[in-house]
Structure 1
Amino acid sequence: MEEQEPKRKWYILDGRAVSNLLVVLIGILFYMALDSFGALQKKVDEFLGVLSPFIAGFAIAYLLNTPMDFFERRVYCNLKRKRGLSVLTVYLIALIVVVILLNLILPQVVESVVALVSNMSTYISNLNTFVQGLIDQYHLEGEGITDLVSLYQDVLNRATAWASQKMPELLSLGVKVGNVVISAVTALISSIYMLAGKGRLVPQLKKMIYAFLPTAKANRFLGICRHANGVFVGFINGKLIDSAIIGVLCFILNLIFRIPFPMLVAVVVGVTNIIPFFGPIVGAIPCVMILLIVDPWAALRFGVLVIALQQFDGNILGPKILGDSTGLNAIWVLVAIVVGGGLFGFPGMLLGVPTFAVIYALVREWTNNRLQAKGIDGNGNPVHTSGQGEDHPKE
């Protein structure tokens, strides 16, 4: 009898082996990414630089989407070309607002900056006279105050030298105007296409999601997107309106209380007020430093004014406009701002709060579902349901 050849054994990877292999591969990729982090970051920056006009276009379209929906559903609802008329209307309104703001605000801001830099030596001399008068009048100990003033003057001199050096570059941007104009036109055109083609683009994205995902997961994903969109729209639009009102109120109060450079100070306060939580501090500090040089008593008046203004915003105006659009308490808002600002700068500080709000809502929903599945509450106690005779723990 012939000897039979031993059968070959074929080994098939089970689920655990595949999972371990994936973990190892992910670890290798993560190590390679860390090892070449500088080159990777450079490539990412280059890629984002190419896409920046389209990212800006998406941001413009996202901001104008809410007023466009209003005109489409309320004003032009019975017309055949309601989408085109709505897009045209919102862009005309946006253009009018931008032209008005540029004509009213930009010249005064530029004039204030130029005057501040040009007269810096006079302001510093007046500050020295003011401090010396306080020392003589109140018999203050001069050594520590003199050192503090010298340090402050040194910082201001460095800032003035830097501003004087950069001023010609800031005022003569002719070399970069071409690239800026091209990027702006590209962003504007892409935003128009996004708004006008929203009726086709959104159904196409939904079709792809339902094609690649199971129906239940696709519905769940679209529900998360709807919730995230509601949070972002409510927060961003509300914050922009709130900051615009605060900026206008600050300008009016600056005129009433005779604060120097009223338009420049109001613009700084209004723009930085967009940042949640830290916005008042970020805006007040540079304004107070500028006003200390020009008029110390005006700096004191502005400090009282901005505290009262931010109290009004935080307790009355902000809650009326924003409501509870995020559902986060103060500690989570602080965490979202610090982490978002540390990772992505100013956009991270602005968008970190609504992003964290969406993540917080998902984690809360998952936690509640897990507790409900286990039949316990947040303290680990069984959840009772009323039955016919006695309560039974929910299983």
Structure 2
Amino acid sequence: MLMKPEKKYLLLIFYICLTVTGIFISYNLVFNIGTILGSILSLMSRIVGVLEPLIIGAVIAYLLFPLTDAMNKLLSKKFNMKRKHYFISVILTYFCVIVLFLLVIVGTYLLIGGRITENNNLSTMVTTIREYIAKYNELFKYVNTKITESGLSGDLKTYLNDTIVYISTSISQSIDSIFAFSRNVGSVMVNMYIGFFLSFYLLKDYDLLKRNYDKAMLLFFEQEKIQSINRTGQEINHVVSRFIRGQVLDAFLVGLISSIGLTLIGMDFAILIGFTAGMANMIPFVGPLVGCIPAIIVGVLSPDPMQAVWAVLVLLAVQQLDEVILSPKIVGDSTGLHPVLVIMAIIIGAAIGGIIGMLLAVPTMGVIQLFAVKYIKKRESERAEAQRTERD
């Protein structure tokens, strides 16, 4: 049956309008992609900000689960408590964490001999930091003047001055970031406090959450697909957990040993610098270098500039101890990544997310490698199966 002329024209007009609308939407999407992405990222940032305590709680629960699981297995062997032993394991885990936290605080106080309460208060510490910043500015001005007065060629002078300005600007921005973070430390501590309590309930109700997860998965997937998803999740967890948990323990030990060493040579802010070096140590390859920067700056600006040399020697000795003994025992080859892939991951992570991006880059690359290897093996298996079928 032929279509009536008026219906044909109406259909043609409809398709024309649809095409024009599609072109208009595509045009606006392409030429406003920056604004659209910015709005999406802003919305995601707000959502993450609202959910920050829950995210922190989930991370803490994830990190503490192995200890809880180990205690649970130990209690199951020692005592015949079918339902109570897991809750007791959670209680013991958090008791150990709180005791460890208190020991760190007391140990830090004893390590610095109570100098914060005896000789300093908050205003004195702020004044001291400002004096360091003023000395640092004077140092760069002095170096800049000496370069200008030197007999070097014009191009070399320009290059050196630009380098000094770049370093000075980078350090200033880092200091500004630290002060900005310190201004927000109250909200951060509140979120950490809430997250800590949320993590307790996440661990306590682990079995309930797992049962609800299994029920939800059955609503959307077949049993075979669920098993495949769970296997993949276990493999991802194996890669990420080994790296993160090992790195956290390694960073704590490096920070503790560095703090003791810097305190023994009489460096100001030894605890802060030591644990900063420990956290920086979590970044492969470049982390140890980043960890030395605060020690060098504080040492150079101190009454005895040679303290910078001693601080670097202390941190280098700690790094050697970490490379030879601590890291192989604690972390090992946790991700199985080639060094080139590690460096690429760090560069990309730094470009995308700064310091946090660098910290997360290696386990993320490890997960990507996991999926790539699984895909290659699957393709090889399919190709081998196809070749066998052709021969038959």
Give the TM-score of the pair, scaled to structure 1.
0.72
CA distance in 2, matches of 1:351, 1:69: 25
Partner residue, 1:117: 130
Q: CA deviation at 1:74?
A: 1.0
Q: Please tell me the root mean square deviation across aligned C-alpha atoms, in Å.
A: 4.5
Partner residue, 1:280: 288
Q: CA deviation at 1:124?
A: 8.1
Q: CA deviation at 1:197?
A: 0.7
Q: Deviations over 1:296-345 (max 9, x none)?
A: 32212222333343233234321221122211111111222222333233
Partner residue, 2:278: 270
Q: CA deviation at 1:225?
A: 0.4
Listed as ranges, the matches of 1:139-218 within 5 Å are: 177=186, 179-180=187-188, 182-218=190-226
User: Alpha carbons of 1:208 and 1:162: their partners in 2 closer, same or farther (altered >3 Å)?
Assistant: closer
Aligned pairs, how many?
349
Partner residue, 2:59: 59
Same amino acid, percent of matched pairs: 24
User: Alpha carbons of 1:115 and 1:170: their partners in 2 closer, same or farther (altered >3 Å)?
Assistant: farther
Using the TM superposition, name which of 304-313 and 53-62 deviates more.
304-313
Q: Deviations over 1:126-185 (max 9, x none)?
A: 9999x9xxx9xxxxx9667x9979996997799789969x97x88887xx84x5565344
Listed as ranges, the matches of 1:211-360 within 5 Å are: 211-294=219-302, 295-360=304-369
Q: CA deviation at 1:39?
A: 1.9
Letter in 1 for 2:128: A
Q: CA deviation at 1:373?
A: 3.4
CA distance in 2, matches of 1:104, 1:149: 44
Greater helix proportion = 2
Q: Deviations over 1:231-274 (max 9, x none)?
A: 22211111111111111221233244454442232122112112
SS at match of 1:326: coil
Give the TM-score of the pair, scaled to structure 2.
0.72
Which ranges in structure 1 are unaligned for 5 or more consecutive residues?
9-23, 136-140, 377-381, 384-392
CA contact (8 A) 2:273 2:294 kept: no
Which ranges in structure 2 are unaligned for 5 or more consecutive residues?
5-21, 110-114
Q: Does 1:101 find its partner at 2:114?
A: no
Letter in 2 for 1:74: L
Partner residue, 1:86: 89
Q: CA deviation at 1:230?
A: 1.5
User: Alpha carbons of 1:161 and 1:338: their partners in 2 closer, same or farther (altered >3 Å)?
Assistant: closer
CA distance in 2, matches of 1:163, 1:369: 50
Letter in 1 for 2:93: V
CA distance in 1, matches of 2:369, 2:141: 52
CA distance in 1, matches of 2:239, 2:129: 41
CA contact (8 A) 2:135 2:301 kept: no
Q: CA deviation at 1:372?
A: 3.7
Q: CA deviation at 1:48?
A: 1.1
SS at match of 1:36: helix
CA contact (8 A) 2:263 2:271 kept: no
Q: CA deviation at 1:350?
A: 2.0
Partner residue, 1:387: none
User: Alpha carbons of 1:236 and 1:262: their partners in 2 closer, same or farther (altered >3 Å)?
Assistant: same
CA contact (8 A) 2:259 2:274 kept: yes
CA distance in 1, matches of 2:225, 2:173: 59
Partner residue, 2:36: 36
User: Alpha carbons of 1:270 and 1:209: their partners in 2 closer, same or farther (altered >3 Å)?
Assistant: same
Letter in 2 for 1:362: F
CA distance in 2, matches of 1:329, 1:161: 33
User: Alpha carbons of 1:119 and 1:370: their partners in 2 closer, same or farther (altered >3 Å)?
Assistant: closer
CA contact (8 A) 2:295 2:312 kept: no
CA distance in 2, matches of 1:30, 1:62: 39
Letter in 1 for 2:38: G
CA distance in 2, matches of 1:333, 1:304: 26
CA contact (8 A) 1:117 1:160 kept: no
CA contact (8 A) 1:33 1:40 kept: no
Letter in 2 for 1:253: G
User: Alpha carbons of 1:124 and 1:65: their partners in 2 closer, same or farther (altered >3 Å)?
Assistant: same
CA distance in 2, matches of 1:227, 1:162: 37
From 352, 356, 371, the counterpart of 1:362: 371
CA contact (8 A) 1:235 1:326 kept: yes
